[in-house]
Amino acid sequence: MLEDIFQSPTSVSLFGVFVALLLLHLLHSSFSSQERREPPGPRPLPVFGNLFQVDLKRPDQSLFNLSKKYGPVFQIYLGLKKVVVLAGYRTVKQALVNQAEEFGNIDISPIIYDFNQGHGIALANGDSWKEMKRFALTTLRDFGMGKKMSEDLIIEECGYLIKEFEQLEGETFDRSQTIDYASSNVVSALTFGKRFDYEDPIFQTMVERNHETLCLIGSASIQLYNLIPWLGPFLKNWRDFMKNMEDMKADIRKLITDLKETLDPEVCRCFIDAFLIRKKHLEDSDIIDSHYHDENLLFSVINFFGAGTETTATTLKWSLLYMAKFPHIQDRVQEELSRVVGSCQIQIDDRKNLPYTNAVIHETQRFANIGPFSVPHATTKDVTLQGYFIKKGTTVLTLLTSVLYDENEWESPHSFNPSHFLDDEGKFIRRDAFMPFSAGRRACLGESHAKMELFLFFASLLQNFHFIPPPGVSEDDLDLKPVLGCTLNPKPQQLCAVLRR
């Protein structure tokens, strides 16, 4: 049969064209692969990819170790999904700051979609995200985020938190929930226009559910769900997560409804009011196809409440644990506070005169590394980074652990060392590799507010209390290994808060 085909001049010509096209394709692919050199990485297994090389209980450490072998830009396969990992300050900055547009999208994994459903501020893309981000920044500035108005809210909440610690009378405590309540109340004042009593059962449930939800997101089974979504209904953590989300949405909707019923367009009390007033203005102007709809409001509030509570509270918990662990550092902070501020109410303006206290707070953020990854990014177009080709739509993990522990940037990255932020004269210095809030288009919107909150809470607590291990426990016994969740939390441990005056 083959002989018959090749006896035909037309068939021979067609076959020749086919061979020529095949050779051209192979040559093009060869040249293209040279021009479009993909990042290196470990050889993946069929179906499983590199899952067996990544510890899902501490994926950031596994990837940090892989970066030492494969370089600052490398790729792995999580199952069948290709992921590019960026490690080290220089590389992460190049991507998020210098090529911010190309690395500016969020990778919408199944659990992120379940959390936000494409709405809100933190975990969305496109025009809706851009408009919500613009509106949120403008509104929060109007409410004094990072300025005097928010300073007064934080100072007021400091008073409530100090009273809670005073009631302990030096007895052992695990006040992690109280710290959560204090941090959440600052966010609540901006978002809902009011603070809640620490004993309010609805408020307690909201805060504790939020913490549990973020812990579930970081669990190994949820990471498995991201790779194999149909497993969701069979995973207890996913079922618990979905129930928490439904309960959270119901509570937030009730608070929004209460504010709607008392809304006065002439008096803007909080973020929700500002959103409702803008929505009504657009509807009165017959603009109905806008981004100001109920779902964007709901998920924006969930974003504020969740992120605003968890990150600040977690960092504050670490700071108190470090003070008990390293008493010589605590003594030096309190000496500076006594010398500079005395018994006066601490103000944000005092920060410039408290370089060591400020350095300790920054070192807490660096060393605790509570967010070892920035939110997962996705490339908006084909892009080349450090000579490696990354295709549009590729998931990109920016490894903040590798930035905050970069041996090329920090003198002693694996030690708690406030001198990282002090010059030879003891003055506070900024460090470019200090990126706990990430960088670029997706950096934390509330960075200035979070810095103010951390300083005022930490300095106020250290002004009033000395934190020590409980009786029978030494500083060496205090455990600094984190508990994995969406953030890295300290293990629940007892401390004592001894009144200083």
Q: Tell whether 444 is in a known binding site.
A: yes
153 and 449 in contact (C-beta within 8 Å)? Answer: no
Distance CA 168, CA 175 (A): 10
More confident residue, 61 or 13: 61
Q: What mean pLDDT, rounded, does the chain reach?
A: 89
Confidence of residue 146 (pLDDT cuts 50, 70, 90): low
Residue 455 confidence (pLDDT): 97
DSSP SS3 for 396: strand
Residue whose token pair is 């060591």: 356
3-state secondary structure 149-173: HHHHHHHHHHHHHHHHHHCCCCCEE
Query: Cβ–Cβ contacts within 10 Å for residue 380, how many?
Result: 16
End-to-end CA distance of the chain: 102
79 and 51 in contact (C-beta within 8 Å)? Answer: yes
Determine the residue type at 159.
Answer: G
Determine the residue type at 268.
Answer: C
More confident residue, 151 or 357: 357
For 192, how many CA atoms within 13 A lie in the half-sphere containing its CB? 20
Q: What angle do CA 296, 302, 304 make, to 5 degrees?
A: 100
Given a cut of 80, whether residue 259 has pLDDT beyond it is yes
Confidence of residue 175 (pLDDT cuts 50, 70, 90): low
Q: What angle do CA 275, 281, 283 make, to 5 degrees?
A: 105
The neighbouring-strand residues paired with 495 are 173
Of 303, 277, 346, nearest to 187 by C-alpha is 303
Please, what sign has the CA dihedral across residues 181, 184, 190, 193?
negative
Question: Helices 294-325 and 447-464 sit at what angle, rounded to 10 degrees?
Answer: 40
Residue whose token pair is 């998920």: 299
Distance CA 13, CA 146 (A): 75
227 and 82 in contact (C-beta within 8 Å)? Answer: no
Given a cut of 60, whether residue 492 has pLDDT beyond it is yes
CB-neighbour burial class of residue 347 (10 A; exposed 0-12, middle 13-18, buried 19+): middle
Percent of the chain residues past pLDDT 70, beyond the cut? 92
CB-neighbour burial class of residue 230 (10 A; exposed 0-12, middle 13-18, buried 19+): exposed
Confidence of residue 15 (pLDDT cuts 50, 70, 90): very low
Confidence of residue 26 (pLDDT cuts 50, 70, 90): very low
CB-neighbour burial class of residue 402 (10 A; exposed 0-12, middle 13-18, buried 19+): buried
DSSP 121-150: SSS--HHHHHHHHHHHHHHHHHTTTTSHHH
Mean pLDDT for 340-345 is: 94
Query: Cβ–Cβ contacts within 10 Å for residue 7, how many?
Result: 9
Question: How much is the CA Rg of the chain, to the nearest whole Å?
Answer: 26
Given a cut of 60, whether residue 29 has pLDDT beyond it is no
Q: Give, for 86, the enclosing helix (H) or strand (E).
A: strand 81-87
Q: What are phi and psi of 266, to 5 degrees?
A: -90, -10
All domains in the chain, ordered by first residue: 36-499 (1.10.630.10)
Distance CA 31, CA 41 (A): 21
The neighbouring-strand residues paired with 84 are 75, 396
Integer angstrom CA distances of residue 64 from 254, 403, 409, 431: 43, 10, 15, 21
Given a cut of 50, whether residue 32 has pLDDT beyond it is no
301 and 116 in contact (C-beta within 8 Å)? Answer: no
Identify which of 214-223, 278-287, 338-347 has the greatest average pLDDT. Answer: 338-347
Strand pairing category for 395-399 and 81-87? parallel
Q: What are phi and psi of 205, to 5 degrees?
A: -65, -45
Q: Give, for 499, the enclosing helix (H) or strand (E).
A: strand 495-499
The neighbouring-strand residues paired with 355 are none
DSSP assignment letter at 463: H
Given a cut of 60, whether residue 119 has pLDDT beyond it is yes
